[in-house]
Chains A and B, each alone.
Chain A
Amino acid sequence: MGAAPKAIEPAETQVPRRQFLMWLSSVGVVGSALAAIFSTFVFMKPRATYGQPNRFRIGRPEEFPTGARIAIDTKRVCIVRDGDKLAAISTTCTHLGCIVAPSATGFHCPCHGSQFDVDGNVTGGPAPKALPWYLVTITPSGELEVDKDTEIQMGTYLSV
């Protein structure tokens, strides 16, 4: 009586084993392909850039007299100083990446006419958001250092 079920058993276990191996190798192949694609993107994203460093020194605080708004186009920042408060505002237009120039009312983009006030808020034109402010610190040697990788709250000044 118990002989008949026993005879079927090997056939029953064999098919799932094949399916299991098929499933396992599929996961392996697809997984490897996905890992390869992901690794390619990791490779493509540079860990170190060869261009300009995003952290750079711009000189001593005395070089920026009070009331000054000095744009450093090569670094794409504008250093503003008001009394003993100092800050670095981006001069890369938030619209399409052109360089904005300081004007009497704030900043003005020559490419598509975006207007910003002195703090970088959008006052006109197609720019979608305000100009970011960057962290400024004083190095032990007394120089100012701008870190364009660290954006800070608008209106956050460094006291010098």
Chain B
Amino acid sequence: MSTEKKSLWKDLMDLPKNIYRSIFRNPLPASDRGRAATSFTNFFLHIQPVRVNKRTLRPSYTMGLGLISFFLFVILAVTGVLLMFYYVPSTTQAYDRMLDLRSSVAFGVILRNMHRWAAHAMVAVVFLHMCRVFLTGSYKAPREFNWNIGVGLFLLTLFSSFTGYLLPWDQLAFWAITVGTSIAGYAPLIGHQLQFLLLGDATVGQEALLRFYVLHVVVLPIALVLLVAVHFWRIRKDGGLARPEPSELPAPAAVVAPAGEVVAALPARRFAIQGLVKGPLVKVGTLDDDTVFSWPNLLIAELFVLLLTVAGLMAVSLFFNAPLEHPVNVMHPPNPAKAPWYFLGLQEQVSYSAFWGGVGVPAIELLLLVLVPYIDRSKEGVGRWFARQRVWANTLFLTFVLVNIVLIVIGTFFRGANWQFVSPF
């Protein structure tokens, strides 16, 4: 009787500890073995490798662009779901709900600001991430497929942003979507069908609003989540972030370690094989010495990027309000009517030639993006910015990037009424 009581008392005393241990399978790691165990026994941490190359952690190599894209997507999902509680996808109510967000919904303004600015930022950062991957030659084998997953993610990001643009149902939204979907209408053969399918009607109206809403809040986010999952998975399976072959790097200075230390370190470094990974980058037996444990090195880096992303977005959202123009007036198009900024390069091209500017040239550019890892099979200059061996590929890519940026800048700042050339100065 007394022993039972005693053990019950002990169990009660141990309750918090037992609950904690049932949730977290490992104590905070103190040894290398513990650091490895923490990484692969935690659901959220097992996405990361146990050890990560030091080059991968250099901020000057990745600039954290992929991670920022991902965090922006998470922020967009959270703020987006919150905004859904107050939004009605109806032509008669949508605009009023925008005004309500401003006037009567707690934190309505900051949530909408964050959602809008994060959406713009995500388009820009995903594009910059693509530039980083190209300019460091990271699309090359065995990462060809992941590069194309990335191209898909870029398109989904653009389309998500575009479908969200219509939802406030103000003049800016209405005419931007009218112009944007008309560009889609220039596609040969399927153009008009595509436009009709997208709008659900002959013109932008209630059907288009409902369709864009469903695409924006259900279809595209699910597609994005799926592709992001595959994208992350393939990073691991393709051997981590691209980096130069060891032979390309300068030989590390020889380190003479005390004999006793080496013997002591060996047992702790014997890990079970978790899976077989193709590629030359994961080695069993001898471990790369230029790797460090993900816990805490990678984790701290990721948290730092998250902090910067949230802080930056909050700062912008506190000082700048998301635009909201007059409610839709179908009779009075603004002059000029402009598509969202990331499509203004397209719109500028369309003003020269409807088919080539709107469909032909973008299709060729997209095809080149998709095919580039299969055309460029050389293995040189991988994992370094502006490698000398890649000067032609990088120059060609930067030319395309600059041309598109210049077209967007012209469309945004240098086009006034009737699409006449005006000076913003």
B333/A113 in contact, CB under 8 A: no
- Collect the chain A residues with CB atoms within 8 Å of residue B207's CB: 46, 49-51
Provide the bound-state CA to CA distance between A54 and B334, in Å. Answer: 25
Given A46-B207, A111-B419, A96–B179 Cβ distance below 8 Å? yes
Query: Which A77-99 residues have C-beta < 8 A from chain B?
Result: 92, 95-99
Total interface residues in chain B, CB < 8 Å? 36
Cβ 8 A contact of A46, one of B193, B201, B336, B351: B201
Does chain B have a CB within 8 A of A128? yes
- Collect the chain B residues with CB atoms within 8 Å of residue A76's CB: 203
A98/B175 in contact, CB under 8 A: yes
B337/A126 in contact, CB under 8 A: no
Query: Which B170-190 residues have C-beta < 8 A from chain A?
Result: 175, 178-179, 181-183, 185-186
B200/A49 in contact, CB under 8 A: yes
Cβ 8 A contact of A51, one of B186, B202, B347: B202
Does chain B have a CB within 8 A of A73? yes
Q: A100-127, CB under 8 A of B: which get 1 and which 0?
A: 0000000001111100000000000110
Please give me the residue from chain A that is nearest to B347 by CB atom: A96
- Collect the chain B residues with CB atoms within 8 Å of residue A54's CB: 202
> What number of A-B contacts does a CB cutoff of 8 Å give?
90
- Assign chain A's interface to a size class: 20 to 34
Does chain B have a CB within 8 A of A74? yes
B335/A97 in contact, CB under 8 A: no
Cβ 8 A contact of A97, one of B178, B331, B351: B178
- Collect the chain A residues with CB atoms within 8 Å of residue B181's CB: 97
Provide the bound-state CA to CA distance between A75 and B182, in Å. Answer: 18
Given A44-B197, A49-B207, A96–B178 Cβ distance below 8 Å? yes
Cβ 8 A contact of B351, one of A44, A74, A112: A112
Does chain A have a CB within 8 A of B60? no
A98/B333 in contact, CB under 8 A: yes
Please give me the residue from chain B that is nearest to A92 by CB atom: B203
Please give me the residue from chain B that is nearest to A97 by CB atom: B182
Cβ 8 A contact of A110, one of B178, B185, B205, B335: B335
A95/B333 in contact, CB under 8 A: no
B352/A126 in contact, CB under 8 A: yes
B201/A112 in contact, CB under 8 A: no
Q: How far is the CB of A87 from chain B (nearest CB, A)?
A: 20
- Collect the chain B residues with CB atoms within 8 Å of residue A46's CB: 200-201, 207
A50/B201 in contact, CB under 8 A: yes
Provide the bound-state CA to CA distance between A41 and B198, in Å. Answer: 11
Does chain A have a CB within 8 A of B354? yes
Provide the bound-state CA to CA distance between A121 and B214, in Å. Answer: 39
A96/B331 in contact, CB under 8 A: no
Provide the bound-state CA to CA distance between A73 and B332, in Å. Answer: 9
Cβ 8 A contact of A74, one of B183, B331, B333, B347: B331
12 more CB-based (< 8 A) A-B contacts, given A99-B330, A109-B418, A113-B417: A44-B200, A50-B207, A51-B205, A54-B202, A74-B331, A97-B179, A99-B333, A110-B335, A111-B179, A112-B336, A112-B337, A112-B419
Q: Please, could you name 18 A-B residue pairs with CB atoms under 8 Å apart, sorted by A?
A: A44-B197, A44-B200, A45-B197, A49-B202, A50-B206, A51-B201, A51-B207, A76-B203, A98-B337, A110-B418, A111-B333, A111-B336, A111-B337, A113-B417, A113-B420, A125-B418, A126-B350, A128-B354
A residues neighboring B (CB under 8 Å): 41, 44-46, 49-52, 54, 73-74, 76, 92, 95-99, 109-113, 125-126, 128, 148
